[in-house]
Amino acid sequence: MNTTPKYFIYARKSSEDSQRQIASIGDQTKALGVIIEREGLLLVRPPYIEERSAKDPGRLVFGAMLDRIEAGEADALLCWDIDRLSRNPIDNGRLQWMLQKAVIKVIKTPSRSYYPEDAGLLMSIEGGRATDYVMRLSKNVKRGLNGKAIRGWRPSGGPIGYLNVGIEKGNKTIASDPDRFDLVRRMWDMFLSGTYSVSSIRSMANEQWGLRTLQRRRIGGHPLTMSHVYKIFSDPFYYGYFPWIDPETGEKRLLKGNHDPMITEAEYWRAQTLLGKKGKPQPKTRTFAYTGLIHCGECDSMITAEDKHQLICSVCKHKFAYENKTACPKCSVDISSMHNPTVLHYTYYRCTKKKDRTCSQKTIRLEELETQFAEELMKINIDQDYLALALDYLADKQKHFGKEEGVARKSLESVYESCQTRLKNLHREYTSPQNTNHELYTSEEFRKLKSEIVADRDQAEKQLASTRDTLDQSLAAAERTFKFCAFALHHFNTGDLRKKRTIFSTIGSNMTLKDRKLSIHKLHPFLLIENEVTSQRALLKSLEPKKTLDNQESFQASAPHFQTLLRG
């Protein structure tokens, strides 16, 4: 009976990892062929070759090879490394079982051979090593990609019009493509005009401009297809955002990118409207500046916000909400066929009605809400001259408090030294020969006196440490308050959402909205300044203090009221 093992050769590389293989398929088969010739092994057919990752089960070539081994066509395997055969527990378990039952008599690699007696511990260790490698690699890759996305760079690179720049893999950024950026922007301009169809834009880009996709190693350099053009006009990347699925939670979010946007957000949403049925819905994460800060004045529910998108039909001039619509509901003209329709966008704030579904409060436009808040900021607004006088006043107070602080520190230091002296005397008297029979102090009396003195000393030490810090913190807080009042209105009118929200939440608390009127309970320092500014305006008709003697005297007259501000 012939007992010579009949070999199959299996060579594999991961298709998605073609640039980072330890050995290519050609190198593997060449090296394994040398082993066949050198050791005189019986090879019963040409090598099985597969370009597919082994991290998941279901490889067709690998499965067919094992089926033929079970059918008796071969009983031995030759491969470059054990991890070429399996990197997942299902395939590894099948191999281990076939080796244990001697269906496979030997698995040979250039470094060692595995026999049926190795099917237990050794194969488990080798298979576990390969599986663990895949799991750690996958986890590290996901972590790296998620970190890159959170930093504002789309891990998959940019679409046409953008280039990946950088050398280090994993740390590349995205920049404008000097050869394609302006051409893609022209495509957007043509589409946003409402006078060009997607097909005509594609024809012009391909035939007249010679626009081609970016040439890569194996792909690219081709004219644009219709699906590619629709994808361009549906991709939020062009207005500065990109969709991302968090690998930890599976949550789909829209992240802000660090790349230079090609269009504005308003232009993007206008394009989605013009696309009509072709528009591909994108994940939206809308940030509102004032949600979570205001309560309803009627039912005490939170105030939320929502966007309203409307369109004015270019044919019948009917205004309608175009979300989930592809045509004008009045004249039935398709949105994609309208000539330059007017697109409107509003933001409304309203009661959530969670505490009372019958709440009667109406919505308020964002612009009206911000106008009311700007009026509140005007009440505490001070100009640069007033700010300079206030800061000079605080500097004078700091000098004055500095002298008072010296006197206070001297007194506290005297108390501290007195406590130290009393402690020394108490210890000396307690341990003296005169107190051998506790004639002076008993143990209880000693402990009680000592604890009292230590408490006095620690209190004095604590007051010494806090004297200067308390003063500095008080003056710093007062200075920040004055500067906030001087610049808050300007920053509110020109700042981004985050800055507006910070200003909104700083000025006061217990904000309510009732009958479309914003009510703010201002914090104490701002209320003091508002009262002073109001009295100054009433006195001077307008708060425009020049650095004159009269105005300085006017400020000094109101300055004592700010003692409360310093204490607060």
Q: What is the DSSP string of 282-331?
A: -------SSTTTEEETTT-PBEEEEEEEEEE-TTT--EEE-TT-SB-TTT
Distances (CA, A) of 495 to 398, 503, 508, 511: 33, 10, 19, 21
Check residue 15 and give its pLDDT: 63
Q: Nearest 5°: CA angle at 449, between 443 and 451?
A: 100
What whole-number distance in Å separates Cα of residue 63 and Cα of residue 56?
A: 12
The alpha carbon of residue 368 and the mean position of all alpha carbons in its chain are separated, in whole angstroms, by 30
Q: Which residues pair with 394 in a beta bridge?
A: none
Strand segments, DSSP code E, in 169-225 are 173-176
At residue 57, φ and ψ (nearest 5 deg) are -70, 165
Under CATH, what is the fold of the domain 6-148? Answer: Rossmann fold (3.40.50)
Hey, where are the domains in the chain? 6-148, 162-278, 294-373, 384-567
User: Which amino acid does the sequence have at 456?
Assistant: D
| Inter-axis angle of helices 121-150 and 89-100, nearest 10 | 170
Q: Which structure tokens are listed for 22?
A: 């330890």
Q: Which structure tokens are listed for 397?
A: 């107070």
Burial 96-129 (b: 16+ CB within 10 A, else e): bebbeeeebbbbbbeeeebebebbeebbeebbee
523-540: pLDDT as tens digits: 767 777 777 777 766 666
What whole-number distance in Å separates Cα of residue 89 and Cα of residue 109?
A: 20
Architecture of the 162-278 domain:
Alpha-Beta Complex (3.90)
* DSSP 3-state percent helix, strand, coil across the chain (nearest 5): 50, 15, 35
Give the residues of the chain that fall short of pLDDT 70: 1-2, 15-23, 119-141, 143, 167-170, 194-195, 248-249, 276-286, 324, 336, 394-395, 397-408, 465-475, 524, 536-568
Q: What is the pTM of this model?
A: 0.42
- Spell out the alpha helix ranges (H) of 283-383: 366-380
Check residue 74 and give its pLDDT: 92
